[in-house]
């Protein structure tokens, strides 16, 4: 695949200068193992220094480079250009329905304020241990998966319900809530359930599975949301559990 030229069709938008986004084309010479992020760097370094995009680790861990590539929400650093060679040109645009800061970089303020509203941190049990909380391997199993979330925003920006209402928590925040809810070290499950028990919380999820389809880490936020619904209805029907 060496020496093949590909065309990148990048959506450009500078809110301070443009009224509407427009597409700009760049031709990039491919190299073996080239990712879309590498191609964007090629453009940035050699062709157009004004192109803006977000990146950090280049290894699919930081969750900075989620964008729409060839019509699909995915990570630029984990998408090989070789898999897209059948396309005439590779369309690259920012995450759908997000406020654009510039070009491919979107505003994550809403995403993170959604995340913050579910208390995305561990509230330990008192008395606090001297060193660390002891957790058996079996107790760790439920959080093995949701702990892998890199908070790239792919799920929340492909969820139609999160598009329609900024008040909806969105799959990422609800997955995070689930991650702490099922953590055996956490001490405030009731409070967490209160936070998400709302028409703008879990009940806005209509199991469209868009979040599952778009997650670059192959996580399942829908399942997390459904499990929380089950916990909520159990609490409603059989009463709150007494604190031990």
Partner 1 sequence: MAEQRIATSKVAGTWAWFLQRLSAGLLVILLATHIFLDHYAQVGADITVSWVHERLGQVLYIAVDYSMLALVLFHGLNGTRTVLFDFEMFVKRRKAVDIGLWILGIAMLVWGIVILWPFIHG
Partner 2 sequence: MKMSSFKWLFGRNSEFWPTNMKTGMWAWVGHRLTGLLLVVYVFLHLSFLSQASIGSKNFADLMKVTAEPAFVFMDFLLVCAVIYHAMNGFRVVLFDMGIGIRRQKQVFWIMMAIAAVLVVGAFYVLFSHGLFDGAWF
Which parts of this chain interact with partner 2 (CB under 8 A)? 9, 11, 13, 20-21, 68, 70-73, 91, 93-94, 96-100, 158, 160, 206-210, 212-214, 220, 222-223, 226-227, 229-230
Q: Which two tokens stand for residue 177?
A: 């809530």
179 binds, among partner 1, partner 2, none (CB under 5 to 8 A by kind): none
Of 55, 133, 203, 209, which one interacts with partner 1 (CB under 8 A)? 203
197 belongs to the binding site for partner 1 (CB under 8 A): yes
Q: How far is the CB of 195 from partner 2 (least distance, A)?
A: 20
Of 44, 61, 110, 212, which one interacts with partner 1 (CB under 8 A)? 110
DSSP calls for 137-179: HHHHGGGTTGGG----SHHHHT-HHHHH-TTS-HHHHHHHHHH
Q: How far is the CB of 220 from partner 2 (least distance, A)?
A: 7
178 belongs to the binding site for partner 1 (CB under 8 A): no
Q: How far is the CB of 228 from partner 1 (least distance, A)?
A: 11
Taking the C-alpha atoms of residue 162 and residue 157, their distance in angstroms, rounded to an integer, is: 7
CA neighbor of 30 nearest in space, from 68, 104, 78, 84: 84
Q: How far is the CB of 107 from partner 1 (least distance, A)?
A: 6
Q: Which positions from 4 through 63 interact with partner 1, judged by CB under 8 A?
A: none
Taking the C-alpha atoms of residue 67 and residue 160, their distance in angstroms, rounded to an integer, is: 16
Of 22, 199, 207, 240, which one interacts with partner 1 (CB under 8 A)? 199
Q: How far is the CB of 125 from partner 2 (least distance, A)?
A: 27
Which distant-in-sequence residues (6+ apart) come within 8 Å of 35 by Cβ? 58, 76, 77, 78, 79, 80, 81
Half-sphere exposure for 49 (CA within 13 Å, toward CB): 0
C-beta closer to partner 2: residue 123 or 145: 145
Taking the C-alpha atoms of residue 42 and residue 57, their distance in angstroms, rounded to an integer, is: 17
223 belongs to the binding site for partner 1 (CB under 8 A): no
Main-chain dihedrals φ then ψ at residue 192, nearest 5 degrees? -65, -40
Length of the chain as a residue count? 244
| Contact residues: partner 1, CB under 8 A | 99, 107, 109-110, 113-114, 117, 161, 164-169, 195-201, 203-204, 206, 229, 232-233, 236
């Amino acid at each position: 695949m060496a020496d093949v030229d590909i065309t990148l069709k990048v959506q450009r938008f500078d809110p301070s200068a443009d009224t509407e986004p427009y597409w700009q084309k760049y031709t990039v010479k491919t190299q073996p193992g080239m990712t879309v992020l590498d191609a964007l760097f090629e453009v940035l370094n050699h062709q157009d220094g004004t192109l803006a995009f977000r990146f950090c680790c280049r290894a699919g861990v930081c969750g900075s480079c989620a964008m729409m590539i060839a019509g699909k929400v995915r990570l630029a650093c984990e998408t090989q250009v070789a898999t897209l060679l059948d396309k005439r040109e590779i369309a690259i645009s920012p995450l759908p329905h997000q406020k654009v800061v510039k070009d491919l970089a979107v505003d994550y303020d809403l995403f993170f304020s959604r995340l913050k509203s579910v208390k995305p941190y561990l509230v330990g049990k008192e008395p606090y241990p001297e060193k660390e909380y002891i957790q058996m391997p079996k107790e760790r199993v439920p959080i093995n998966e949701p702990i892998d979330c890199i908070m790239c925003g792919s799920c929340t920006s492909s969820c139609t319900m999160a598009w329609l209402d900024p008040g909806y928590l969105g799959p990422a925040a609800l997955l995070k809530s689930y991650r702490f809810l099922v953590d055996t070290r956490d001490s405030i499950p009731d409070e967490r359930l209160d936070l998400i028990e709302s028409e703008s919380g879990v009940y806005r999820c209509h199991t469209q599975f868009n979040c599952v389809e778009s997650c670059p880490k192959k996580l399942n936020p829908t399942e997390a949301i459904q499990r929380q619904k089950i916990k909520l209805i159990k609490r409603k029907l059989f009463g709150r559990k007494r604190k031990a």
